[in-house]
Chain A
Amino acid sequence: MSLKTVSARHIRLIASYWIRYVVRSGAGLVFLLIALVFSLTVAHIIIMPVEQIMAQQTKSDQESNREKIVTTIVELSRPVIRWTLGIKSDEDDALFGAMKQGISSPPEVPMLEHVMAQAQPPTHPWTTFLLDERPALLSIIFLILIFSMPFLIAFLAFNQIAGDVQNLGLRYVLLRTERANIFIGRFLGTALFSTLVIAVIIATITFYLGVKIKIYPAGLLAVWALHGFLALAISTLPYIALCSWISTLVDSPFLSLVIAKMVIGGVLLLAFLGSLAWRPVIYLNFALPWGIQNHLLHPQLTHSLGTTLACLAYMLVFLFLGYYRFETRDL
C-alpha cells in the first residue's frame, strides 16, 4: 500500500467517467430527482406564505408592504432557526442575547425577568444574523437543507465500490490502474456530482427569490446564496467520505446503502434519545459532523472557516479509513 501509485491523470479520468456513469447506473438519477424535488418542495413551503401575502396585497390594490412581508418571514422563520440552533424558547434566546451583548441586571432583579421586561428583548446574535442581517428566507432554507442533505447524499454515494466488488468488475479496472486512483477518483466524481446538483438547486431558488419575490437586494441575495452553496457543498463531503468507507466494507450495494442510512441517522437519533436519559450522550453527535455543520452559517467568518476545516478533517479521517480498507481487502 503506497501513495506513490497515485496518479493525477488516472484520478481525473476516473472522476470524469464516474460523473457520467453515476446517472447511467440509476443511483445518480434517483439522487438527482429526490434532491431536486425535496429541496424545491422545501423552498415552496417556505416561500408560499410570502407569495400569498403579496397576492392579497395586489388584489386589494395595496402597495406592496415590504415591512409586513419581512415581519411575516421573520415570524415564520424564527421557530425553525431556533430549533436548528438548539434555542428552546424566547427566554433562552433573550438570555443568550443578553450574555453576548454583556447586559447585566440590577442585583435584586433576576436576569431573565430583567431582559424580558425590556421593550425589545435581546436575541441571540446568530438568530439576529440569520433573520435580520441576511435574507431570512434563504437562511431557513439553507438550515433545513444542511440538516437533510446527509440523508439524501447516501442515495448517491452508497455504491462507489460495493457494486463492482460484488460483480467482480474491479479486477478488470485494476489491470489498468491502482486501487488508490479508483478510490480517490470515485470519491471526487461523487463529490463533484453532488456539488453540481447543489449548485443547480441553490441557483434555482435564488433566481426565483430575486426575480419573483423581489424583497431582498440582488447583491445581498447573491452573496448569501454563494455562502449557503459553499456551506452545503462542504457539509456533504464528510458524509460522501463516510459512504465511501462503508462501501469498501461490504460486498453488497443494498447493504452498503442500509448501513450508511443507519449510521447517518442512527448517530443523530441515539444522541438525541440518549441525551434525554443522560445529558452527555448528546456529544455522540460529534462522531459525525451533526454537532458542527450548522456552524458553517455562523455570523463570524473565522468560526465558519474553522468549521470548514473541521468538516474537511472528518472527510480525511473517513477517506483514510476507507482507503486503508480498500487497499488491504481481498477483491
Chain B
Amino acid sequence: MTEGKRPGGLTALAVLNFVFASWSLIGMAGMVVFFTLIGKIPTENMDEKARMQMEALQDMGLSTLILIFTLTVVSCILLFLSGIGYLKQKKFLGRTLGSVYGILAIISSIVSGLMFDPELGGGFNIGTIIGLIYPVLTLILLNTTFKEDFTN
C-alpha cells in the first residue's frame, strides 16, 4: 500500500458519516414538524402505550427540546465535517472532529438515558448499546487503526 493512499475502511467510515448525517437532518425536520403539531394530536383513540408516549412527549419541557435539537444539529455538523476530513485525510477535520463526535454521541446517549422516561426510550437497554456502537467504533478506529493515515 503506498503511503498517503486512503484505506478502504476510512472511505467506508466517511460514507457512513454522510449517511448518518443525512438521517439526522431528516430526523430534525421531522422533529420540528412533530413538535409544532403535537398539541393538536388527539389521544383518545390511542392504545395505552401510545397514549403514555404521547403524553410524555407533550410534557417535555422547552429546555429539553432545545437541548435535543442542539445536540442533533451539532452531531450532524460534526458527522458531515469529519466525513470530509476522512476523505481528505486531514488531522483536525478528520481525526479530531471525528473523535469529538464520538465523545459527544456517547455523552448524549448517557444523558438521554438518564433524563428521559422509559416511554420515550430513556433508561438503559439494548437500544442504548446499539446507539453506542458507531460512536465507540469511530473513537477506537480513529485513534488506533487509522491513526497514522491522517497525514494532511
Contacts and interface: CB of A to CB of B under 8 A. Distances in A.
A55 to B, nearest CB: 6
A211 B134 CA distance: 23
Interface string B135-152: 001000100011000000
Contacts of B127: 44
Contacts of A212: 124-125
B140 to A, nearest CB: 10
A192 B130 CA distance: 23
A24 B146 contact: yes
Nearest to A55: B118
B9 interface: yes
A166 interface: no
Contact of B9 (A26, A43, A47, A205): A26
A48 B130 CA distance: 14
Given A26-B11, A26-B12, A29-B141, A37 B125 contact: no
Interface in B100-152: 118, 124-127, 129-130, 133-134, 137, 141, 145-146
B9 A28 contact: yes
A39 to B, nearest CB: 10
Contacts, number: 55
A279 to B, nearest CB: 40
A212 B118 CA distance: 14
Interface string B33-45: 0000000000000
B8 interface: yes
B16 interface: yes
Given A25-B9, A26-B9, A44-B130, A33 B145 contact: no
Contacts of A55: 118
Contacts of B9: 23-26, 28-29
A55 B146 CA distance: 43
Q: Which residue, B8, B118, B129, has most C-beta atoms of chain A within 10 A? A: B8
Nearest to B127: A44
Contacts of B21: none
Given A29-B13, A32-B137, A33-B134, A24 B8 contact: yes
A84 interface: no
Nearest to B125: A51
B109 to A, nearest CB: 14
Interface string A161-177: 00000000000000000
Nearest to B134: A33
Contacts of B133: 33, 36-37, 40
A44 B12 contact: no
Interface string B1-45: 000000111011100100000000000000000000000000000
Contacts of B134: 33
A20 B12 CA distance: 16
Interface in A132-187: none
Contacts of B118: 55
B130 A41 contact: yes
A26 B16 CA distance: 11
A44 B133 CA distance: 14
A70 interface: no
A72 interface: no
B61 to A, nearest CB: 23
A40 B136 CA distance: 15
Contacts of B129: 40, 204, 208
Contacts of B11: 26
Contacts of A20: 145
Interface of A: 20, 23-30, 32-33, 36-37, 40-41, 43-44, 47-48, 51, 55, 204-205, 208, 212
3 pairs of A and B residues whose beta carbons are closest in the complex: A26-B8, A44-B126, A26-B12
